Amino acid sequence: MIGVLDYGMGNLRSVEKAFLHLGHEAKVVGDSASVAACSRLVLPGVGNFADGMRLLDERGLREPILKVVASGRPVLGVCMGMQLLMTSSTEDAPSDDAPVPGLGVVPGRVRAFTPTRGGAGSDGRPRLKVPQMGWNALSFGADADDASAPGSPLMAGLDPGAHVYFVHGYYCTPDDPAVTAATADYGGRFCAAFSSQNVHACQFHPEKSQAVGLKILDNFARLPGA
């Protein structure tokens, strides 16, 4: 059974309904016992990183998540859920040198897009709109011109240039570039998805990404378990 974690932040029902539409058993879960019973776990999320971590701790869900990770069962972070899996985030941090701690499952930091990222103003290049809201193309190789096929099982069966739907002002920077499963370009290339052993994540919303997103969720549901 796929557990979609309810910790007070996230579009839980749309993720649950997407799995059900695909014919997979899925259920919203919100306590340690229910999480422990899942064969795989989805950590969704929208909103503020620090609020997300606070709610996970207030509801006693940090350790259950880490136990699922340690067990080898597949885990999927979606949007802010991806970010919470990282070591830390600069969102609402007093400084870049004092970031807000995350779950620390995948080493790396969450950083903010800025309106000038990628150039602006006098060079004639447009300023970025932050947050990024809308469709963007995925790449699986080193750059946008690389037509490599996906290397991660989460992205299996997708074509280079597949479009997915993003809503975010922050992005993940894994310490190990090898875990990056897909990138997108928004004033420069950024990590749009990662796969690290049994832990997978996507910055975009697969449940809002039509056929491409459903393929990703189906891939996750079919990953071998522990």
Closest by CA position to 76, among listed 46, 102, 45, 104: 45
- What CA–CA distance (Å, rounded) separates 137 from 131? 16
Let me know: does 14 contact 208? Beta carbons within 8 Å. yes
Cβ neighbour number for residue 56 with a 10 Å cutoff: 23
Would you name the residues annotated as active-site residues?
A: 79, 205, 207
Burial class (CB in 10 A: 0-12, 13-18, 19+), 134: exposed
